[in-house]
Amino acid sequence: MNNTIVITGVGKRLGFALASALLKEGYHVVGTYRTQYPSLADLKELGADLYPVDFYQQNQVDDFISQLADKYKSLRAIVHNASDWSSDHNPHLSAAEVMHRMMTVHASVPYQINLALQDKLCENGHADIIHIGDYVAEKGSKKHIAYAASKAAMNNLTLSFASLLAPNVKVNTISPALLKFNPHDDAAYKDKALSKALLPREAGFDEVIEGVKLLLNSRFMTGRNLQFDGGRHLR
């Protein structure tokens, strides 16, 4: 069985951790990155094929899709992890630009990749598309309205593509809340974030990695959304 998995956004945090874990398990990872990070050298050493792609440049998206179609006979899975997180009051972008960027990276590019590569997945007979969503898609956000809306659009892609590509391709979403704090997050922010959940702690990247493995191993789950949110919905 072909073991090539495409993962978008592998330069840091969850994308890097997921790519590393799957490489060590014997999968052939094809990853994208927008910014050159030192960590990418570690993925290359493990055998990853890496492509610099700015998802806000349509010509680069088109070129990446073309390279995938030409270079890889079939794909075991596509994991849409690439993400951007912009406030609705970004001083450098208009409201229209913020919405366009959020919808581009979280909905438009996954939509294009799924459509273009569906035949590569169907050749497998057991293949997956996994969208990495966000808990906020169901709750909304007063400060990140465009981001939340774009993640909700991603959730809807899961439903549509699950119907379109069954029975050979399973399509699911994983929606985490707090995974890991950033180094610059201060104590007040951390306390506020932790207080939102019944389980007041960081989930860690391994939580999502295990969720990805569960979906890859499953033969009977599609069109679903795995919620790793620490019980926020009960607060």
Task: Enter the tokens of residue 191.
Answer: 């306390």
Give residue 197's pLDDT band: very low, low, confident or very high (50, 70, 90).
confident
pLDDT tens, 124-178?
789 999 999 999 999 999 999 999 999 999 999 999 999 999 999 999 999 999 8
Rounded to an integer, the average pLDDT of 29-45 is 97
pLDDT score at 183:
84
Q: Which of 33, 56, 147, 189 is catalytic?
A: 147
Is 147 a catalytic site residue? yes
**Domains, the chain:** 4-225 (3.40.50.720)
DSSP collapsed to 3 states, 81-119: CCCCCCCCCCCCCCHHHHHHHHHHHHHHHHHHHHHHHHH
